[in-house]
Amino acid sequence: MSTIQLNGAARPLLTGTTLSALVTEVTGRELLPTGQPIDGGRLGVAVARNSGIVPRSQWSRTLLEIHDEIEIVTAVQGG
Amino acid sequence: MTQTLTDNDALLIDGVALGSRLIMGTGGAPSLEGLEAALVASGTELTTVAMRRYAVHGEGNTAGANLFDLLVQNRIRVLPNTAGCFTAREALMTAELGREALETDWVKLEVIADEHTLLPDAVELVEATESLVNRGFKVFAYTNDDPVLALRLEQLGAAVVMPLGAPIGTGLGILNPHNIELIVSRASVPIILDAGIGTASDAALAMELGCDGVLLASAVTRAQDPVRMATAFRHAVIGGRLAAQAGRIPMRTHALASSAMEGRADF
């Protein structure tokens, strides 16, 4: 089965899935092609693919590939 | 006339005026509700956050997303940190993630040497500061209380230099006030005392030594009554700032009466 690694865990990969679709699936927020949430709020999330940051403006144009290592990070409590 | 304590005395960083010189971090709070109440009580306008994996549905809580929403709602500016990074390379990647996620080029640069002391690794810190400045970040450099290193960080382009009072989370206060005073006296960027603060008098002392602000988290979030402690720090920072500006009396070896000796009644 085709999989990707998402935040360290294996996840099935459906052909043609964009990074934008994955972020929506994980966060529950619909996104504009710019990567901004449709609800007008701020997403507060960054994505790295195979150790390189993918700017939100490129999420909708980025197709996931088999064995991709994706990290989705956000702000948590910290000094 | 009653003086409004914080009027016309904003802390200017990168062209942004912060009304409070107390920067309260979000680390160590047991609940988001408690954290929010403490942040509001502290009066802080800037708070630190760490960058960590988003909790994917069904694999833990989603506190991360909620924290950012909470800060946005309360109009508290976010300062992403690089906590947990041991090398300049890790710090750069974490800083880039923070900039992308939170849409700010401010970063609290923390490069620690080991988990036991959590003390900054000076060599990695210098390298990371230089790289981040070159990439357009406004670097808040968390550093040892070393006057030489502090000046070096400023020369490398750090927007703010943040010497520690004592190791992170110890609550030991300001272990080397002389060094802090020396750092402040030679700096031309804001100096914010970061780490080691235990109680209100530590924060007041930092301001009396001339620091431009104080950053703390555990001292509030791990106090028995965080809201009360946050309130105490809000007052302490204002008190210390006013005292630093007011010009204290010199210390003397012998007593000096404040009541006149002349004109005493004869008994």
Q: What residues does each domain of chain A span?
A: 3-74
B-chain residue closest to A6, CA distance = B56
Which residues in chain B are closer than 8 Å to A43, comparing Cβ atoms? 101
Q: What is the pLDDT of residues A41-61, one digit of tens each?
A: 899 999 999 999 999 999 999
- DSSP three-state, residue A20: helix
Q: How far is B258 from chain A (nearest CA, A)?
A: 45
CA distance B84 to B67: 19
Which residues in chain B are closer than 8 Å to A48, comparing Cβ atoms? 93, 97
Is the Cβ of A52 closer than 8 Å to some Cβ of chain B? no
Domains and CATH numbers, chain B: 11-55+78-244 (3.20.20.70)
ipTM associated with this complex = 0.92
Q: What is the pLDDT of residues B215-238, one digit of tens each?
A: 999 999 999 999 999 999 999 999
Q: What is the pLDDT of residues B63-109, one digit of tens each?
A: 445 899 899 999 999 999 999 999 999 999 999 999 999 999 999 99
CB contact under 8 A, A78 and B59: no
Instruction: Indicate if the pLDDT at residue B5 is higher than 90.
Output: no
How many inter-chain contacts (A to B, CB under 8 Å) are there?
A: 116
Which residues in chain B are closer than 8 Å to A74, comparing Cβ atoms? 51-52, 54, 64-65, 68, 101
pLDDT band at B62 (very low <50, low <70, confident <90, very high): very low
Give the mean model confidence (pLDDT) for residues B184-209.
Answer: 97
A-chain residue closest to B195, CA distance = A79
Give the mean model confidence (pLDDT) for residues B157-177.
Answer: 97
Torsion angle defined by CA atoms of residues B241, B205, B126 and B189, in that order, rounded to the nearest 10 degrees: 20
Give the pLDDT score at B58: 53
Domain A3-74 is classified in which CATH homologous superfamily? Beta-grasp domain (3.10.20.30)
Give the pLDDT score at A6: 94
Report whether B263 belongs to an annotated binding site: no
pLDDT band at A15 (very low <50, low <70, confident <90, very high): confident
Give the mean model confidence (pLDDT) for residues A5-33.
Answer: 92
Which residues in chain B are closer than 8 Å to A77, comparing Cβ atoms? 26-29, 35, 49-50, 63, 67
Report whether B58 belongs to an annotated binding site: no
For the question of residue B138 being annotated catalytic, the response is no
Mean pLDDT of chain B: 93
CB contact under 8 A, B67 and A55: no
Catalytic residue among B36, B42, B76, B108: B108
